[in-house]
Amino acid sequence: MKKVQKTLLNIDGKQIPAKVYHERRKNVRANIGKTGAILRLPFGLSQKEELEFFAWFKEYVKEQLDTNQDIQELFFGKGYKNGDLLTVGERQYRLQMQFTERKTHGAKIANSIIFLELAKHDIESHRQKAIRHLLSRTVGNDFLPEITRRVLELNQIHFRQDVKSVNLKYNSSNWGSCSSESNLNLSTRLLFAPQDVIDYVIIHELAHLIELNHSSRFWKLVEDAMPNYKDKEDWLKEHGPKCDF
């Protein structure tokens, strides 16, 4: 039996989601998970001991943020600035930012330059979130013809089903989906993965055109099209958190 408490850690003015577990254990443990920081405490601690360990926990999280760029990007994104180069697959984009009096943000692309029009009165955290959204949408539109061709090619080779549409949208909860209306949706995060991994996700979703489930019949379809598909799943598990705008 264990109980969990969700909270937010204020680290240098930035908020980090955290979970504190009380459980049967003999020691105290802290780590950084994919969705937040985690503190595990044994049952039976006094209030003073819990407060001391929580203070230690905050210092631990601060140290991880200060020394690990990957963890910073996991929680706060990449912190884009004017002139940055964004590499997605084999393409590179130069970011050109213009700050305006407008209340909304916008973007357009020309000759591998992404022009970002940003509201200068927005706070930085909101602005960075908007930049990631704009980059995802703009780069997704740039890659869509290529991804669509690959979807149709793999479908013709392995499945020969009707595909009504192919869409690239930002999705943090999965890499792709397939609707009962034969619409394939792929996450723009997937564009940071190697081509064989992208192919696996495409094949996975195309197989759903035949089996809209994860039955043994479904996995047989995937394996017939890509016998080493489990290697691609392993790659996503290991490297997937870094595939993001």
What pTM was estimated for this model as a whole? Answer: 0.73
Residues 52/34, Cβ–Cβ less than 8 Å: no
**Integer Cα distance of 187 and 202 in angstroms:** 11
Any domain includes 118: yes
Any domain includes 80: no
pLDDT, tens digit, for every residue of 164-187? 999 999 998 899 999 999 999 999
User: Do 148 and 114 share a structural domain?
Assistant: no
pLDDT, tens digit, for every residue of 61-100? 999 988 988 888 777 767 899 999 999 999 999 999 999 9
pLDDT, tens digit, for every residue of 28-68? 999 998 788 999 999 999 999 999 999 999 999 999 988 98
Cα distance from N-terminal residue to C-terminal residue, the chain: 39
User: Do 27 and 103 share a structural domain?
Assistant: no
Q: What is the dihedral of CA 228, 234, 129, 106, to 10 degrees?
A: -10
pLDDT, tens digit, for every residue of 90-111? 999 999 999 999 889 999 999 9
User: Do 98 and 125 share a structural domain?
Assistant: yes
pLDDT at 73: 75
Q: Which residue has the tokens 């992208």?
A: 198
Q: How many CB atoms lie under 10 A from the CB of residue 151? A: 21
pLDDT, tens digit, for every residue of 187-236? 999 999 999 999 999 999 999 999 999 999 999 999 999 999 999 999 99
pLDDT at 127: 85
Instruction: Give me the DSSP letters along 178-217.
Output: E-TTSEEEEEGGGGGS-HHHHHHHHHHHHHTTT-SS-SHH
Among 42, 57, 75, identify where a domain stops.
75
Residues with Cβ within 8 Å of 72's Cβ and at least 6 positions away in sequence, in order, are 65, 79
**Integer Cα distance of 224 and 140 in angstroms:** 29
pLDDT band at 122 (very low <50, low <70, confident <90, very high): confident
User: Do 117 and 148 share a structural domain?
Assistant: no
